[in-house]
A and B are shown apart, each in its own frame.
Chain A
Amino acid sequence: AQSVTQLDSHVSVSEGTPVLLRCNYSSSYSPSLFWYVQHPNKGLQLLLKYTSAATLVKGINGFEAEFKKSETSFHLTKPSAHMSDAAEYFCVVSFLTSGTYKYIFGTGTRLKVLA
Chain B
Amino acid sequence: GAVVSQHPSWVICKSGTSVKIECRSLDFQATTMFWYRQFPKQSLMLMATSNEGSKATYEQGVEKDKFLINHASLTLSTLTVTSAHPEDSSFYICSARVGGLDIQYFGAGTRLSVL
Contact = CB atoms under 8 A, between A and B. Distances in A.
Contacts of B4: 43
Interface stretch (B11-19, B43-51, B63-71, B79-87): B43-51
If over half of A's interface residues share one DSSP class (helix, strand or loop), that class is named, otherwise mixed; here it is strand
A103 B106 contact: no
Interface stretch (A15-23, A66-74, A76-84, A94-102): A94-102
B49 A43 contact: no
B24 interface: no
Nearest to A34: B103
Interface residues of A, number: 23
Interface in B23-78: 32, 34, 41-44, 46, 49, 51, 57
Interface of B: 4, 6, 32, 34, 41-44, 46, 49, 51, 57, 91, 93, 95, 97, 102-109, 111
Nearest to A88: B41
A107 B42 contact: yes
Given A32-B102, A101-B102, A42 B108 contact: yes
Contacts, number: 48
A103 B104 contact: yes
B51 to A, nearest CB: 8
A107 B43 contact: yes
Contact of A101 (B41, B97, B109): B97
B44 A105 contact: yes
Interface in A6-52: 32, 34, 36, 41-46, 49
A43 B109 CA distance: 5
Given A34-B103, A45-B106, A46-B105, A102 B93 contact: no
A102 B104 CA distance: 9
Contacts of B49: 100, 102
B105 to A, nearest CB: 7
Given A100-B32, A100-B51, A102-B46, 7 more contacts: A41-B91, A42-B109, A44-B93, A44-B106, A98-B57, A103-B34, A108-B42
